[in-house]
Amino acid sequence: MDEIETEVLADPEASAPSALREKPALVYIPIVIVLSGLLLWLYVSNVDMISQESTPLNWSKKLQPQIIQHIQLTVASTAIVLAVAIPTGIALTRPVARKFSPPVLWVANVGQSFPAYGLFVVAYMWIGRGFIPSVLALAFFSTLPVLRNTMVGIDQVDKAVIEAGRGMGLTRFQALRSIELPLAVPVMLAGVRTALIINVGMAALAFLIGGGGLGVTISAGLKLQQNLVIITGAALTAILALTIDWIAAMAEQFLRPKGLK
């Protein structure tokens, strides 16, 4: 009895270092984001810009709309991924559908292994230009992490725990909802976070087919051979990626079941 009590009491201590390692990052990252934005603003505002630089760097007419477009591309594509990959991943862990896992995972692997540039070109050839083709290309590219992590998260749940629930009278659906999914949440959230980072980075290529985003600024800088414009577009993309990653990390902490924190 004493040994059991010792083990139970030791568990919080074992998980404490992990929590302490995670929390400082959640505090420091916003500071890094703010300092990066401030340094970029100071750098740009203290440079004597020519007309070729000032036009693409106009905040209200160029940069702000592009940042909003970039966020819209990221959120919309990630929402599609969640709506498709999570239900599919859950279905593929059911015994009746498990035989379909290899071909479905193969398709998802093709999506992520396909060159991003080529994926946008394919979307353009099949659908055309604009926001929707860009979102679909991003969603196809980032499906694998969420699909795979959903399957892995559910598969790693101890079968004995599931059988114990079934023995208490839970149906298969009730066991999935009350046992398997809650225990799989940490792994699933890691996949969602990965998909978000993929989408915010790859959204910089959406300009290729008229999807907008901060890639427009980077492209303008390359065409005009203006390093200031290129640096600004790339830095804003990096700052946006850090911001979204921090938001995802915060959500991961709060959405994680209390017993697994």
Q: How do residues 178-237 score in pLDDT, each as one tens digit?
A: 888 888 898 999 999 999 999 999 999 999 999 999 999 999 888 888 888 899 999 999
Domain ranges of the chain: 2-260
Between the alpha carbon of residue 134 and those of residues 81, 115, 125, 191, 203, the distances in Å are 14, 14, 12, 21, 8
| All residues at 6 or more sequence positions from 214 whose CB lies less than 8 Å from its CB, including other chains | 63, 66, 67, 70, 203, 204, 233, 236, 237, 240
* CATH for the 2-260 domain, from 1.10.3720.10, 3.40.50.450, 3.40.30.10, 3.30.565.10: 1.10.3720.10
Report the pLDDT value the prediction gives residue 176, as an integer from 0 to 100: 84
Q: How do residues 223-247 score in pLDDT, each as one tens digit?
A: 888 888 899 999 999 999 999 999 9
110 confidence band (pLDDT: 50, 70, 90):
confident
Q: How do residues 26-82 score in pLDDT, each as one tens digit?
A: 778 888 899 999 998 888 888 777 766 677 788 888 899 999 999 999 999 999 999
Whole-number average pLDDT of the chain: 83
Residue 55, both tokens: 């036009």
Report the pLDDT value the prediction gives residue 253, as an integer from 0 to 100: 81
In angstroms, how far is CA 158 from the centroid of its own chain?
A: 27
Report the pLDDT value the prediction gives residue 22, as an integer from 0 to 100: 54
Please give the full DSSP string across 147-163, using - where no structure is assigned: HHHHHHHHHTS-HHHHH
Q: What is the pTM of this model?
A: 0.82
The C-alpha atoms of residue 130 and residue 155 are separated, in whole angstroms, by 39
Residue 244, both tokens: 């979204």
3 confidence band (pLDDT: 50, 70, 90):
very low
The C-alpha atoms of residue 16 and residue 8 are separated, in whole angstroms, by 14
Report the pLDDT value the prediction gives residue 236, as an integer from 0 to 100: 94
The C-alpha atoms of residue 107 and residue 15 are separated, in whole angstroms, by 37
HSE toward the beta carbon, residue 177, CA cutoff 13 A: 5
Give me the residue label for tokens 């915010």.
200
Report the pLDDT value the prediction gives residue 17, as an integer from 0 to 100: 44
The C-alpha atoms of residue 258 and residue 15 are separated, in whole angstroms, by 12
